[in-house]
Structure 1
């Protein structure tokens, strides 16, 4: 359900009101008064829910098992019929909004966006604080005597009306049945409203000719150039902004980015109108060019902007190019005609928004449409990409906050300065005297497919991969997908190379190699990506993983270019130094998000062969160019390749594709006994281990607790019972865990329960992020909740337990909606050498037999604070609001939340020392 009202409707005295109301509609209704009834019902029946508030829209969506759709819709409809909006629930939910705000405050792009809103003209709808927080929605209104419940209900009664709502339902029942449900369940929604709420505002958002310098909290530098354009919603069949966004943001030869990279000034670039409500709305479209700068580029930022205007002058002189538009049209039509199903909940949410934007005939097609070539409109809009219509923002890692002209954005407390761009510079940019000779239009894209013939599935009708070749240097797997019938292929390659020293220097040099390879391939991979032939390159230990996904016709051409560059990678000393700078910044930015930091520390604590990012950074500082060239020269002296080709390819084509990489990269096979292995330590039983570190970012107020329970090693078919218990446990416990710690106790905004699979060792993690409480207190609440799980399961009705089982079984027995989802599952079985392609079938067989008593005993045995079999490790990432000594906090003296039970916790001071005397799980891959 998309409601045509959002944050731009917030009154000045209650900024964030629309977001607050979105939260409150989840908190019970007259018909279903329990606050967690909706989420609990979805959890029991294989479903999930979400919502978001944008500038003009508020969208609510869910998915659920098909046979439970009507009952879920009944609960969903009550959001829009009779929400309770209880005062006590308001008090608790304002804490969730505050936690969400604190989480958003750690993101540089959010901080920049809020500076842009804060510096907008006071009369403009942009001049507001759309996130909302405790101050804007509670403290300030209370001080002014404002009744916030009355404000919420006023917004609800005035704007949550049928005429302002668009509903999309995707279900397995007939359209007549679905329509009858809509009439009976939603028919009593109040009438009124006429489309989305009208917002009045001019295209002039900011004072002209200004540059804002903004303090970044992370290791990045970025210049953002914003050009307000007229609203282009009605031009969706033409999409002129897409046309010149595609050209300006191009990364191929002759592009602006190619020139900036060659000068060493920029790393990446995007151009276009984003899909958020600030960049595309009923008042205007905001065309934004964002360029990620090197440190050297910051020093030349005015020249960077000057080169942009040179490029724009070239585009105006050449005029609109129809062949470029037709290339966009061809790719869009292929994507629409061979639609890859996205997640169903995301899909219905996008369609509900589309119903506001497109005619009925184009609700499905509007996002893809490039039907009308309109060079006059392109010329008209291009004429508005001029200096006097530009706002410039420079996001800087190095920012002098002591300067007398520093201002402070009050909500996120972001420091910034503002300066007037000199008139002489504006005149120079408006009409550059010349255009750099290296700037030119792109060439036609060689990767756009023309033959989309689908291979007959009768060649190989197997649902599982089959091995076509197994040699000392190469192993090839193949499947011609018999179900999805798509012209796409997913080709996955694992390329294991020989590490000369097996020390940290090899790991760092391998990362430098991947950066140089990515840079060398950038223009090629960009063209392929435009043609929807997507590539990912990653490094895992001494294994390069390459994935290519897209239309099959041009995939061999791309593979040949990638293999050739991998073998013949050339590098100058200047390019080496640039790669070192990139990697150094990646190391510095690592673990900026506390959730990621905690997951990293868990992996580091459990992995026997792991190079710490700080140690890698130190190693990087002493590397010489000669070290790199020697490493590259010997990189593939011993190689082993394993690949899987899935989808629209014959066996012959799969073998030919694998042969491309074998011929380019294999000079000598890499013997099995010499290949590096991944080892995981076995945690001690009956003891809780604790490791803690501070957050990396100076602005980060959030702390994270990652409480991990090690369950045992995956031994293939012999571990299916363990997998089924783990999966069922997470399905049952996730919602009550969230409800208790997030909804009721408001411990933190992020409350999650997840399974872990680290090199074949299984586990369960309880994770909470909070800016309000210390890590020790957070852990005590996690432990208190865990202590209640056996009783919770015991008290659970047998029908409810069975419903969870049936939902999981239905999920495991269902077909994946996309080729890439299914083939990636198979690929994990291949590269980890498990080869258990029918895992779901075995899990289902075990799930059928799992009883409630077995689940209760399993929980007591592996999670119980008194259990001698429990293997537990807790990670603290301590935010700037918390104290380092939280492990001794008096509220957390026990491992279970019981103040009378002695806590058996060992504090880890050094991870190497911690691992030294621990057993290691037998190596499987």
Structure 2
């Protein structure tokens, strides 16, 4: 069964080899896509061979008998406008790609060979182990992976989930009598069976044509009639729970997680007991667990739901982000948590609450919108292992089987004696160290006194079930389209302090809409103090309205509030029925905020902690943050913002807020299922926050302008052994030709860059090149994070690759790349939100003709191969506008001959030439 809003055609079939296939015909799609999900993952690794399933996923991309060139698949997909990837989870390995629709047959032929005759070439087996090792090394400082490593150590060693998942050079090494290539072949032969595979193919062809295409390509996949053996081992051995685990994190992390072993309810997808319980425990409205934790100053956030799942069992987890006070009083946190669960048991399951969730899920399915074809097929192929054939499209939305006994059974497991309590904090008392990630931790059983304390908190009057959700859309009718409705938004209100753009959506015709507002002020972006004030202000506003707005979020009515380069943005989107109610409340709070001093202090400290935790981010992400700060004026690093926050009092923020609104103006867009009177209604609401009079001038946005032939090196320190180099090359100017030539360069480079520097040279796991326009100033970035080479070697490798690019592309390849890029630029918007975002960004850039995509496509089309080569050689080879941001890692080397070295982004931008963006 498909959504009433879905006009695509579907056909489910089973091939002779027992592979289940879903075909999707979408005549309007410009991108075709396919995904094959194998019901095998890291939980199936042979004992002592951690990471083998993950390693196999890597190897399937590197040549087949029919297409032996390891680079051929990636090159074909990229040259024809596509993308490809895969992931290995505990139970699944999912392979997927998209491509310009015309080339689906050729791409599917290459894809099918992964599962028929992969080569497992010995030279790539040896090389690709380094990529797995690099991925493992990259995660050594990831607190998520570190916490999972500890969890795997404390669980039952007989359970498949206790295995090492990622893999390393050690776990994948050849051993006496056991070559890793032989084990790869054995694993593939055992598990990669057609009956364990689910294939989804989306194309522009008819269903009959798709079937005729898929049948001969995938029927040769062998069916070994494999079936998983039942897993009898429990996740935790008898008698080990309750258990307390303390973990010392890398970041300034304060998290308490309470998990309970439960049954595997995934086959009960029509009942969805975990969705019902997760919604209640994770609720953030009045009477919720989080509300009381915040009131007592113990927590900043909470999430609840399915943690881990495996055939035969699962974990339900409740994660609490603690304040400093919460760490000190974690026993009180646990007491409140168990008290809330006891309240749920006393109240018992409520069919009206279940029906409310079911109604929301039904609405979401009824008005389901198109997303990325590749993401769509990947999600469906994984779900096909769980859902009945008739439900493969709606299984994730179904809540049609209310079962009170099942809910009571589930809640009965949420008791202290069945709990795994994990604390991640710098104060953790540790006496053990995990094997794979070297994580300090400790394990103990709570005392009888602790258990009694957890159970002693009688159900407090502060806890109660959620009230009926007032934001559920009741009127889902469509407004009449006005005869003079413009094809794109027009400026319908233009006053000194406010401008409003408006258009009705005629393309998607859903009872939804987007109301976007930019409040601009000269008091944002001119100093770290201003930035810190604006970010803290938006955080406090969101916190103040959270209990009110959370039900709206559940009801498909979203809002976001955030600082941007010149002010603060407020966005409301979703069902338009109750938007006016939500917007009125939000603007009233913005006009008259009332910040509690305790919440001010807690949120300020939480922001400081988040900024301090930047050192725990992936090293490549930290280097890209430094690059962004170097290029954009108005961006500030962590240290000055932290300093500003530490010195800020609530009185300072209140004064800033008054000054901000005194200098603010607003530009808004209303697009979707709205009637014309919504314009004046919004104008009246904006008067709640906007003063009269002339608005002060805004400072122009600025981007660093690197001179022709100028080379800059910005050395940064990142606490990680890997070296990282982000090499930014700026276009020659800011014209459409510069933008087109730079984007085309990236399109041509990206596949070869990955193949040469990652697959062939094995310089690291993160190897990519991508367009990096800053406020439409064109540029590209080459990025590598490497455990194997220093930053100087990375620079040399990048430079050598650049030198080969112009001559490596023949005329036919150039045409394919150019066509692929044009198709991507002109790709129709898939849904209302993509369309709204395009209009909104065009307004921000003052492209009021809304023709930026066509102008860009025309500029790309006007470039021939000789013109592109001349641009590339002049701009990206001979007279580079170059900035290298480098983190040396353990080897301590920086790029040689990279030009003038700067000590900081502030020094770099001081007095430098700029692009002024009006």
The counterpart of 2:213, out of the listed 172, 177, 181, is 181
Match of 1:808, SS state, is helix
The counterpart of 2:287, out of the listed 250, 254, 259, is 254
The counterpart of 1:786, out of the listed 788, 793, 802, is 802
1:854 equivalent to 2:867? Answer yes
Report the more deviating stretch, 823-832 or 189-198.
Answer: 189-198
Partner residue, 2:913: 919
From the superposition, tell whether residues 882 and 221 of structure 1 become closer, same or farther in structure 2 (CA, over 3 Å).
farther
The counterpart of 1:446, out of the listed 470, 479, 483, is 470
Partner residue, 1:469: 493
Match of 2:292, SS state, is helix
From the superposition, tell whether residues 424 and 608 of structure 1 become closer, same or farther in structure 2 (CA, over 3 Å).
closer
Q: Deviations 1:294-340 (Å, cap 9, x if unpaired)?
A: 11101111110111111111111111111111111111011101112
Tell me if structure 2 keeps the 8 A contact 1:460–1:479: no
Question: In 2, distance between residues paired with 1:843 and 1:629?
Answer: 44
Partner residue, 1:680: 703
Question: In 1, distance between residues paired with 2:871 and 2:49?
Answer: 49
Q: Deviations 1:830-866 (Å, cap 9, x if unpaired)?
A: 12333351112112222222101111111011111x3
From the superposition, tell whether residues 623 and 428 of structure 1 become closer, same or farther in structure 2 (CA, over 3 Å).
closer
Partner residue, 1:36: 71
1:626 CA drift (Å): 2.4
1:391 CA drift (Å): 0.8
Partner residue, 1:908: 902
From the superposition, tell whether residues 711 and 153 of structure 1 become closer, same or farther in structure 2 (CA, over 3 Å).
same
Tell me if structure 1 keeps the 8 A contact 2:41–2:89: yes
Q: Deviations 1:378-406 (Å, cap 9, x if unpaired)?
A: 11111111112111111113445xxxx51
Question: In 1, distance between residues paired with 2:193 and 2:650?
Answer: 66
- Provide structure 2 residue ranges, at least 5 long, that are not aligned to the other structure: 1-35
Tell me if structure 2 keeps the 8 A contact 1:214–1:393: yes
Partner residue, 2:755: 739
Question: In 1, distance between residues paired with 2:767 and 2:712?
Answer: 21
From the superposition, tell whether residues 377 and 669 of structure 1 become closer, same or farther in structure 2 (CA, over 3 Å).
farther
1:635 CA drift (Å): 2.8
From the superposition, tell whether residues 614 and 373 of structure 1 become closer, same or farther in structure 2 (CA, over 3 Å).
same
The counterpart of 2:243, out of the listed 207, 210, 213, is 210
The counterpart of 1:624, out of the listed 630, 633, 649, is 649
Partner residue, 1:304: 333
Tell me if structure 2 keeps the 8 A contact 1:638–1:669: no
The counterpart of 2:170, out of the listed 135, 144, 147, is 135
Match of 1:477, SS state, is strand
Question: In 2, distance between residues paired with 1:159 and 1:691?
Answer: 49
Question: In 1, distance between residues paired with 2:194 and 2:57?
Answer: 17
Q: Deviations 1:667-698 (Å, cap 9, x if unpaired)?
A: 135535x2132222321321310001111xx5
Partner residue, 2:125: 90
Matches within 5 A, 1:330-341: 330-341=359-370
1:193 equivalent to 2:193? Answer no
Partner residue, 1:223: 256
1:573 CA drift (Å): 2.6
Partner residue, 2:848: 835
Report the more deviating stretch, 906-915 or 465-474.
Answer: 906-915
Question: In 1, distance between residues paired with 2:539 and 2:598?
Answer: 14
Tell me if structure 2 keeps the 8 A contact 1:124–1:205: no
- Over the aligned positions, Cα root-mean-square deviation in angstroms equals 1.9
Partner residue, 1:564: 588
Question: In 1, distance between residues paired with 2:463 and 2:545?
Answer: 20
The alignment's TM-score, normalised by the length of structure 2, stands at: 0.93
Tell me if structure 2 keeps the 8 A contact 1:164–1:197: no
1:6 equivalent to 2:41? Answer yes
- Provide structure 1 residue ranges, at least 5 long, that are not aligned to the other structure: 894-902
Question: In 2, distance between residues paired with 1:500 and 1:320?
Answer: 49
Question: In 1, distance between residues paired with 2:636 and 2:354?
Answer: 48
Tell me if structure 2 keeps the 8 A contact 1:489–1:645: yes
1:754 CA drift (Å): 1.7
Q: Deviations 1:56-98 (Å, cap 9, x if unpaired)?
A: 1111111111110010000000000100001110111111111
Partner residue, 2:731: 711
1:586 CA drift (Å): 2.4
Match of 2:200, SS state, is coil
Question: In 2, distance between residues paired with 1:460 and 1:292?
Answer: 52
Report the more deviating stretch, 844-853 or 242-251.
Answer: 844-853
From the superposition, tell whether residues 911 and 849 of structure 1 become closer, same or farther in structure 2 (CA, over 3 Å).
closer
1:15 equivalent to 2:50? Answer yes
Tell me if structure 2 keeps the 8 A contact 1:3–1:196: no
From the superposition, tell whether residues 852 and 422 of structure 1 become closer, same or farther in structure 2 (CA, over 3 Å).
same
1:104 CA drift (Å): 2.5
From the superposition, tell whether residues 74 and 244 of structure 1 become closer, same or farther in structure 2 (CA, over 3 Å).
same
Matches within 5 A, 1:573-612: 573-590=597-614, 592-612=617-637
Partner residue, 1:900: none
Matches within 5 A, 1:76-475: 76-138=111-173, 141-142=174-175, 144-194=176-226, 198-204=230-236, 207-274=240-307, 279-399=308-428, 406-430=431-455, 432=456, 434-459=458-483, 461-475=485-499
Report the more deviating stretch, 498-507 or 246-255.
Answer: 498-507
Question: In 1, distance between residues paired with 2:229 and 2:62?
Answer: 25
1:538 CA drift (Å): 1.1
Question: In 2, distance between residues paired with 1:680 and 1:515?
Answer: 27
From the superposition, tell whether residues 407 and 433 of structure 1 become closer, same or farther in structure 2 (CA, over 3 Å).
closer
1:373 CA drift (Å): 1.3
The alignment's TM-score, normalised by the length of structure 1, stands at: 0.92
From the superposition, tell whether residues 93 and 671 of structure 1 become closer, same or farther in structure 2 (CA, over 3 Å).
same
Question: In 2, distance between residues paired with 1:86 and 1:460?
Answer: 64
Q: Deviations 1:142-178 (Å, cap 9, x if unpaired)?
A: 3x44211110001111111111111111111111111
Question: In 1, distance between residues paired with 2:346 and 2:48?
Answer: 50
1:467 CA drift (Å): 1.4
From the superposition, tell whether residues 904 and 240 of structure 1 become closer, same or farther in structure 2 (CA, over 3 Å).
closer
Match of 1:635, SS state, is helix
From the superposition, tell whether residues 248 and 455 of structure 1 become closer, same or farther in structure 2 (CA, over 3 Å).
same
Report the more deviating stretch, 170-179 or 722-731.
Answer: 722-731
1:542 CA drift (Å): 4.1
The alignment covers a number of residue pairs equal to 881
Question: In 2, distance between residues paired with 1:259 and 1:246?
Answer: 17
Question: In 2, distance between residues paired with 1:380 and 1:473?
Answer: 58
Match of 1:135, SS state, is coil
From the superposition, tell whether residues 509 and 14 of structure 1 become closer, same or farther in structure 2 (CA, over 3 Å).
same
Tell me if structure 2 keeps the 8 A contact 1:538–1:545: yes
